[in-house]
Chain A
Amino acid sequence: MSVLSLERVTKRFDQVVAVDDLSFSVEPGTVFGFLGGNGAGKTTSLRMVLDIIRPTSGSIDVLGRAPGRANAPEIGFLPEERGLYRQMTALDTIAYFGRLKGMAPADAKREGAALLDRFGLSANAKMTVDKLSKGMAQKVQLATALVNRPRLLILDEPFGGLDPINQGLLEDEIRRLSAAGATVVFSTHVMQHAERLCDRLLLLARGRKKFEGTLEEARAELPARLNVVAKQDPSKVGGVESAEDRGEAEPGWRRWDVRLEPGVAPGDVLERCVAQQFPLRRFEQLQASLHDVFVHIVGTPETAQ
């Protein structure tokens, strides 16, 4: 049973369609990336999941229930725009959000203290937020999302504004939660994070779903490319769409940039080369980046807006 599923969800603001007929589901224990440029509908979708706003049409199922505050005890949420009560101490802030998620006061305090300890902030637990550095405040904000040990962690552009150390900390926490069986859904327009962390991806553009699947499936959307060192032009080999001469690699051998026909696997081409006794000194598959996939599917992040 999926942890989160959206079925034909549409959200309109006056004449603007922010989310258009969106359907997807997230299985337990996966890290699910919600990718799209600015204005693609990521934040609106996540707000609907959290019942901060409601869809114009369609249905949403979160942890087996309709969206609502009843889910709060099992959800952690880190919004894109972050802030804390400036006059509250770090520990009180975490405990406050723990209590709003249904935790007992003592449990919320204990878990808050443990998180601060894990983030290296135990000495700052009693400091008010306005006296913390920006990096420290970011860790406290993350702790407010994690305090209830959520089954479903929703992160909206979580890496935005984080320094490299806190980006690493957040990646570690996502892996830790995933390893513990929690489901993580995060939106981002920075492809490198999604590439490193996500089991499954969903690409959005102008509120519509453009792709859903694994990273490998995403890469398969692009024609495969090879770096080949051969004596002859490989464009005659079956399955090769084109081959571009990149110059001499060593005497008698030339380097070729080979583009395969759509849907042709590099292994099949290698097999044909062997069968045809086509001499090779290098046969290297070039892996497409998620950025390339994104640009291929939805255009540049700018054109996707």
Chain B
Amino acid sequence: MNNILIVAAREFRQIAGMRSFWLTLLIIPLSMVIGGIAPTLFHKDQADRVMVIDRSGGGEARAIAQRFQLDHNRDVLTQLSRYVQRHHLESADPGALWAQHDRWYSDSDVAQFVASGGVASANVKIARVKPKDVSEFEAPKPDFEIVPVPASLASVPDNGLDDAVKGVLKPAAKDAKPVDYVLLIPSDFGKSPLVRLWANSQPSTSFMGAVQEVLTRDLRARFLATNGVSPGVAQTATAIAPALSISTPPPGGGARESMLVRSILPLLAAYLLMISLMLSGSWMLQGTVEERSNKLLETVLACVSPEELMYGKLLGTAGVGLFMIAVWAGCGLFAAYATKGAIADFIRPALDPLTSPATILALIYFFVVGYVAVSILFLAIGAMSDSMRDAQGYLMPVLLLILLPISLLMQAVLSGNSGGVLIEVLTWVPLWTPFAVLARLGLGIPTWEVIATGAVLALYTLVELVLLGRLFRASLLAQGQKPNLREVISRMRAVPR
């Protein structure tokens, strides 16, 4: 055992002494930070400026402005509701609209929210129950801002606007803010459905949707009124809309957002297992090839048995992989509990599964056994190869065999699909079992299946240790050409010396 630990410690130190190891170690925390700030980088920090030249009396411009305000308030209410749900703050006011998460907020809901004090009032209530480490809710910025029509444009006739609006869309003055959209509602709007839009870039879908809905509603009201319906009834008819009730079942049932937040940890574990295995496995492969190509093996084998060498290498590599995971997990925990912001808000709910000892046990078991089961493949390849070039010949098919089905698995799990023939097959084939079970843990996988696949994986790993152990031992001092399949099988069947 002592020799195994000495070999393992040397393997660990050798890999930890590589620059690529430390660069790789930093990639995940760095990508977490980038992932956290990326949305803010991509998000426009200023509202689109909209100018409405309403020559039909001003009613359409007001309706559009009201619609923008309504949409913004709905957005605020939705975000507030998600914030309250994520941090379990419903006790601040159980009757409030933002404490009810299973609904689509209607126009009247939004009006009620604004009438009851909006975000300011909600924040006061939430502050009474909010833990100190939970960041305060920040309302999203509005998407659109209505800007007044300057006198220089107001007096320009419709047919002269093409030239006139250029000055506001692309102003010559450096400090002048450009207008994003100029909308002309002609004086005969109603009789004619024609409106004109000038934009300094491709119009956004949300802008077009809002404007179209407001103007369509007005045109329909005018049409109904023209056909004998009273203006009040006509107006009401255009506002009729279904009340949508949204259900978000807990993990195991399926809704996308719930799965993504609550099952991110198992899925992340599957990803990390894959990444750390590929990295540490290839480093171990390099080390084993180095021992062969540098003719070190005979010296080593005079001191340790082939079995001790193999187990030491496996232990050292598993140590490297687990060290990487520990560092990444430490960074994640630090981000979750020592920082505030988007990353913390994302990670903290993802740690929910860790309250269950069975989940923790399953995570650790499939991670560690999966590590050994796949690492030993790299070790056997290293023992059969005199150079990295030799090793590539074996490595590529093995990597494809492991990675291709896993990428399909990840896509299936991300789309909320926890069943299906492919996923079941991947769950029961031991080479892919650790990845499949880890990925499915968040979606929900029957306990009996976890236990049964765990047992199959253990059996497979034992058989693999015996057969690949023989291959490793028989290949260590073998010289000459790369063994073909028959030779590989013959080495696996060879009883030790």
CB interface residues, A 112-166, toward B, < 8 Å: 141, 144
Contact A83–B294 (Cβ < 8 Å): yes
Q: Is B132 an interface residue (CB 8 A)?
A: no
Contact of A96 (CB < 8 Å), options: B6, B17, B477, B497: B6
- Shortest distance between the CB of A279 and any CB in chain B (Å): 62
CB interface residues, B 441-492, toward A, < 8 Å: 477
Contact B14–A72 (Cβ < 8 Å): no
Q: Is B204 an interface residue (CB 8 A)?
A: no
In the complex, which residues of chain B have a beta carbon less than 8 angstroms from the beta carbon of A50?
301-302
Q: Is B299 an interface residue (CB 8 A)?
A: yes
Contact A52–B6 (Cβ < 8 Å): no
Q: Is A84 an interface residue (CB 8 A)?
A: yes
Given A96-B10, A100-B3, are A69 and B295 neighbors across the interface (CB < 8 Å)? Answer: no
- Shortest distance between the CB of A84 and any CB in chain B (Å): 7
Contact B497–A79 (Cβ < 8 Å): no
In the complex, which residues of chain B have a beta carbon less than 8 angstroms from the beta carbon of A84?
294, 296
A84, B299: Cα distance in complex, Å: 9
Contact B294–A69 (Cβ < 8 Å): no
A276, B14: Cα distance in complex, Å: 79
**0/1 interface trace, chain A 84-102, chain B, CB 8 Å (1 if under):** 1111100000001101110
**0/1 interface trace, chain B 291-329, chain A, CB 8 Å (1 if under):** 101111011111111001000000000000000000000
**0/1 interface trace, chain B 270-303, chain A, CB 8 Å (1 if under):** 0000000000000000000011011110111111
Chain A interface size, under 10 / 10 to 19 / 20 to 34 / 35 or more = 20 to 34
Q: Is A286 an interface residue (CB 8 A)?
A: no
- Shortest distance between the CB of B301 and any CB in chain A (Å): 5
In the complex, which residues of chain B have a beta carbon less than 8 angstroms from the beta carbon of A260?
none
Most A C-beta atoms less than 10 A away, residue of B3, B298, B497: B298
In the complex, which residues of chain A have a beta carbon less than 8 angstroms from the beta carbon of B17?
87
Q: Is A53 an interface residue (CB 8 A)?
A: yes
Contact A83–B295 (Cβ < 8 Å): yes
A99, B6: Cα distance in complex, Å: 7
Contact A100–B290 (Cβ < 8 Å): no
Q: Is A75 an interface residue (CB 8 A)?
A: yes
**Nearest A residue (CB) for B3:** A100
Q: Is A77 an interface residue (CB 8 A)?
A: yes
In the complex, which residues of chain B have a beta carbon less than 8 angstroms from the beta carbon of A141?
299
Residue pairs across A and B with Cβ atoms less than 8 A apart, 19 shown, are A52-B298, A52-B302, A69-B303, A72-B304, A75-B302, A77-B298, A81-B295, A82-B299, A83-B293, A83-B296, A83-B299, A85-B294, A86-B290, A88-B10, A88-B14, A96-B6, A100-B7, A100-B300, A101-B303
4 cross-chain pairs, A with B, having the tightest CB-CB distances, nearest first = A83-B294, A100-B303, A81-B295, A83-B295
B interface residue numbers (CB < 8 A to A): 3, 6-7, 10, 14, 17-18, 290-291, 293-296, 298-305, 308, 477, 497
